[in-house]
Chains A and B, each alone.
Chain A
Amino acid sequence: MSNYIGKSIKRREDNRFITGKGKYTDDLVLTGMTHLAFVRSPYAHAKIKNINTKAALAHPGVVAIYTGDDCGNFGVPCGWQVNFKNGDTMKEPPHPLLAVGKARHVGENVAAVIAETLQAARDAVELVEVDYDELPTVTDAKAAIQPGAPQVHDDVPNNIVFDFQIGNPKDEVNAAIESASHVTKLNFKNQRLSPNAIEPRSYIADYDVNADKYTLYTSTQNPHLIRLLMCAFVLGLPEHKVRVISHDVGGGFGSKIYHYTEEALVTWVSKQIGRPVKWTSDRSEAFLTDAHGRDHVTTAEMGFDDNGKIVAFRVHSEANLGAYLSTFSTACPTYLHGTLAQGCYTTPLINVDITAVFTNTTPVDAYRGAGRPEMTYILEHLMDTAALEMKRDPVELRRINFIPAFDGVNQPGYQTQVALQYDSGNYHATLDRALEMLDYKQFRKDQEESRTNGKLLGIGFSTYIEACGIAPSAVVGSLGARAGLYESGHVRVQPTGKVSVFTGSHSHGQGHETSYAQFVADTLGIPIDDVDIIHGDTNEVAFGMGTYGSRSLAVGGSAIMKSLDKIIEKGAKIAAHKLEAAEADLEFAEGKWTVKGTDKSITFGDVSLTAYVPHDYPAGLEPGLDFSSFYDPTNFTYPFGTHIAVVEVDKDTGKVSLKRFIACDDVGNVINPMIVDGQIHGGVAQGVGQALLEGVVYDENGQMITGSYMDYAMPRADDLPFFETDRKVTPCPHNPLGVKGAGEAGTIGATPAVANAVMDAISHLGIKDIQMPITPERVWRAMNS
């Protein structure tokens, strides 16, 4: 029975947000709280010769000042080990909480000033005198691996973190490309992006001397992971004495997954000074220190036979990881990237070769999509380009190459050339529907006509696939993950039949408090108001891996489902006893157990009460109705879809306007369509941002010249149209809810669709390609060269 699943239930969390009662970390004020401000490196690469804190310490209100000398032996770890092709361990130089010896990117923490007020802390920062010796700088990955390039870390030759390869043997792939009847080759730059959650990162640490306990309030996507990393790998704290709380979080998009130096530092400082301490990033700091996304430089080739079938695909990239390894930085250009090179296509031979590189830039890590948008852009942009080159219709070219539909139940999953096995897919279905929404034939006519009127209309396709709910733990462990990727779900039925659900997933906009409650209420057959979802506090929730990689419902939801199963199973024992029937004769539906074929029944509420007031109770059964489960998936999930962008290019200025955006996605079963649509909308906007607007730019000295909203362009309301969305449903065969994940699909699909649309609008002018962001000047230059 489904009263809630599949319905657009309005979000229960909204009331607090629309009335200004959300509780974000920076909203909290603790008694005796001090404020921390950082002295940050103004140079991209510089020796720190001396730090003089005397004047700053004398400034009224200053409580303490720390430098790398005080806590330089503490450093944050990388969470994923990727080895060199030859088996050597990746290079993993320390990432100290405050710079030790030298600073490696602009904005790196050099000293921390703690004061009674933020004003005093900020004023004192200006009084700290740091004596730097500037060093030569390298910001570009390709430049960094050249002989003689500046060395970011002394013991990392050529700045190479590791090299990596996935897929079929390279010589086989090379041979197939060489003998292909058509080869499309492009150079790509997946430019560096700044995630820019609108809430800046914020941390408050509170050390309780008497109990020797720490509480860290943090704007994180995964409180337990932060606690684990910080306790076990950074500060060596007893985990049971550390509580991490992440209340409302104002967007993450990946940037709030990682364990940041600032987070461990405030925790450490709180103990040193015996008082609470708060640090909230300002926007300039966010640009300089929130982990960036993307930054791959790539050459890729795709070979086709005479019929337009892909015979081979090869990719070679340098991935810029910045100055230090952020938590999941190493996974992004490798296992989250190379593994997507199959796309929706039957390509028989694939090789992806990646070199990961240190540079004097902000660390790079997962940003919405994490490695998958980069590959999808390469793949889908090559498809449209190949279609243009071979004078084939981009839609037909895709159809020829699509993997045929398979549901993962009656037909097996699809084994790719790049390690993964897809769970289920029906790529034609979303394409068909998207074309219908567009009216493709009519569009081509309009386009023809518009060209005669001097207008440049273009259409771009992207038939993407993505991999989310990354798992299972044993497999990712064998690939180098230093954490498991399961989730916990704890369901506590209260004596009155009300239900508290504790999840290790974390909502920072995804609406878990609503969608989780929907399937819990339906599974138990109770009103949604009887269900409460609790997350974001390590003292309340047993354990958790958090929310990223579109994993919440597929992994976290499944863990809850396991607990619900246990509850129903135990409830049946109690019900059988009360109904004086055999358990096998009972059925559970609509919130009650009924003796099959009779009207004898007992409600969920009565069973709950009996469990806690076990007077008339099955012998040998424990009282209570409270179960916790861990769910470790057997596979990733593989959402897919078709995105179509229609753009118009101003032929005088080169400015691109997005006229229509059509998305037909298949994210498996859908619990709350309204929320899923919202995820797609937001994802698409970020994807459009990469295609047309966004890009972090460094100058030759490693200074970020796009470090504010005056320079870094992100989509605003008037840059976007209403999105046209629809959905197909191919359930995930391997998790109980049949769900796949919707958080990143929009971003992954959208970028190539928009880039392809621009090319479609102007390629008839003899233009081969334009790098992203496709700014007006770039288009104008292409049109006039």
Chain B
Amino acid sequence: MIPAKFEYIKASSVSEALALLDKHGDDAQLIAGGHSLVPAMKLRLNQPGTVIDIGKIPGLNSIKEDGDDLVIGANCTHHQIATSPIVKQKLNVLAQTAKSIGDIQVRNKGTIGGSLAHADPAADYPAVILASDAKIEVEGINGKRSISGSDFFQGIYATALGSHEMIIAIRIPKASNGVYLKFSHPASRFAVVGCAAIKNGAGISIGLTGVADHAYRASAVERAYDGDAKAASEHAVDGVAVMSDNFASSEYRSHLAKVFTERALSALG
């Protein structure tokens, strides 16, 4: 397998990358880890004319504490996040999520920025991004903006990201009490259903991925929750158009969404 012809440019700074994006327009795509982009290019499902490598831009792969938040650079690999002592301490649910992605090799190369931008409906991070009220910090030649998870994920591979913008970092409020539980597809290991639950004081928040064409905040569960995980989880797919495929029909997927919501809620400390 071999991709269709393209030009490759390595960007050495964010501003250079943004200028290149601007110059090449829709024909250009960024590459970070390449673990979503390269297979799609090899299968010729995706044929960008220009590929801009942001993988080695300095500063994009740091994990920092900033007050009540963690700020995670877009180029942080899943492995880096899964093993980072700060993440484990302050936002273990994110480390847990990162660890559940793919396999060792994929985690060593794939990045959080790439995963979010790719917006696979079965990707793991979006559940936590939503449950934790994280903000996705993006930058374009016209400036920066910060997008909430609910605004960011819009559909299958569709996000609020403009074609000339890139993700710089993810700002996530620390949360000590959270879990991510996942029912993996037996072949791809992506989430058939993934549920992130976070408890903050009295409130809980739930993000579900794999269920619909994009991850969503299960607000009906959050509203219904009064300590009875089972009863609340019955609302996991309220108002949601649940996906169906060869492995899991929408009926079964809905059931799994409830089971995993209940399990996640029950697992909260």
Contact = CB atoms under 8 A, between A and B. Distances in A.
Is there a direct interface between A and B, measured as CB atoms under 8 Å apart in the complex?
yes
27 contacts: A119-B2, A122-B1, A123-B4, A123-B5, A126-B4, A282-B1, A284-B1, A652-B259, A653-B183, A655-B183, A693-B187, A705-B246, A709-B187, A710-B187, A710-B188, A710-B190, A711-B187, A711-B188, A712-B187, A713-B185, A775-B247, A776-B248, A777-B247, A777-B248, A777-B249, A780-B252, A780-B255
B44 interface: yes
A118 interface: yes
A640 to B, nearest CB: 31
A81 interface: no
Task: Return the 10 tightest CB-CB contacts between A and B, nearest first.
Answer: A713-B186, A713-B187, A710-B188, A777-B252, A652-B259, A282-B1, A122-B2, A119-B2, A705-B246, A711-B187
A118 B252 contact: no
Interface in B44-80: 44
A173 B2 CA distance: 58
B256 interface: yes
Interface in A643-698: 652-653, 655, 693, 697
A126 B4 CA distance: 10
A711 B187 CA distance: 5
A652 B255 CA distance: 9
B224 interface: no
Given A122-B1, A123-B4, A284-B1, 17 more contacts: A122-B2, A284-B43, A693-B186, A693-B187, A705-B246, A709-B188, A710-B188, A711-B187, A711-B246, A711-B247, A712-B187, A713-B186, A713-B187, A776-B248, A777-B247, A777-B249, A781-B252
A76 B247 CA distance: 36
A202 interface: no
Contacts of B248: 776-777
A706 interface: yes
Contacts of A118: 2
A706 B245 CA distance: 11
Interface in A688-728: 693, 697, 705-706, 709-714, 719
Contacts of A719: 186
Interface string A459-489: 0000000000000000000000000000000
B243 to A, nearest CB: 13
Contacts of B247: 711, 775, 777
A633 B190 CA distance: 50
A284 B256 CA distance: 30
A719 B187 CA distance: 11
A653 B2 contact: no
Nearest to B259: A652
Among B186, B252, B255, find the residue whose CB has the most chain A CB atoms closer than 10 A: B186
Contacts of B4: 123, 126
Interface in B1-31: 1-2, 4-5
For chain A, which range describes its interface: under 10, 10 to 19, 20 to 34, or 35 or more residues? Answer: 20 to 34
Interface in B224-262: 246-249, 252, 255-256, 259
Contact of A706 (B43, B183, B246, B259): B246
A175 B252 CA distance: 44
Interface string A192-209: 000000000000000000
Contacts of B185: 710, 713
Given A705-B246, A711-B188, A126 B44 contact: yes
A122 B256 CA distance: 42
A126 B187 CA distance: 29
Contacts of A123: 4-5
A626 to B, nearest CB: 47
Contacts of A693: 186-187
A119 B247 CA distance: 35
Chief secondary structure at chain A's binding surface: loop
Contacts of B187: 693, 709-714
Interface in B139-165: none
Nearest to B193: A653
Contacts, number: 49
Contacts of B249: 777
B256 A653 contact: yes
A88 to B, nearest CB: 39
Contact of B259 (A119, A653, A711, A781): A653
Contacts of A712: 187
Interface in B174-191: 183, 185-188, 190
Nearest to A283: B1
A777 to B, nearest CB: 4
Interface in A106-153: 118-119, 122-123, 126
Interface in A412-441: none
Interface in A763-785: 775-777, 780-781
B157 to A, nearest CB: 14
A424 to B, nearest CB: 40
Contacts of B188: 709-711
A118 B4 CA distance: 11
Contacts of B186: 693, 713, 719, 775
Contacts of B43: 284
B48 to A, nearest CB: 15
Contacts of B255: 780
B236 to A, nearest CB: 13
A653 B182 CA distance: 12
A785 B229 CA distance: 25
A655 B2 CA distance: 37
A29 B108 CA distance: 32
Contacts of A776: 248, 252
Nearest to B187: A713
Interface string B180-207: 0001011110100000000000000000
A652 B260 CA distance: 10
Contacts of B190: 710
B92 to A, nearest CB: 22
A697 B252 contact: no
A719 B189 CA distance: 12
A652 B5 CA distance: 48
Contacts of A705: 246
A80 to B, nearest CB: 33
A282 B42 CA distance: 11
A70 B156 CA distance: 44
Contacts of A780: 252, 255
A161 to B, nearest CB: 28
B182 to A, nearest CB: 12
A717 to B, nearest CB: 10
B190 to A, nearest CB: 8
Nearest to A784: B255
Contacts of B1: 122, 282, 284
Nearest to A652: B259
Contacts of A284: 1, 43
A305 to B, nearest CB: 42
Contacts of B5: 119, 123
Contacts of A775: 186, 247
Contacts of A706: 246
A196 to B, nearest CB: 11
Contacts of A714: 187
Nearest to B253: A777
B188 to A, nearest CB: 4
Contacts of B259: 652-653
B165 to A, nearest CB: 28
A310 to B, nearest CB: 36
A712 B185 CA distance: 10
Interface string A273-294: 0000000001010000000000
A714 B183 CA distance: 17
B234 to A, nearest CB: 14
Interface in A752-770: none
A724 B255 CA distance: 36
Nearest to A781: B252
Contacts of B256: 653
B2 to A, nearest CB: 5
B35 to A, nearest CB: 13
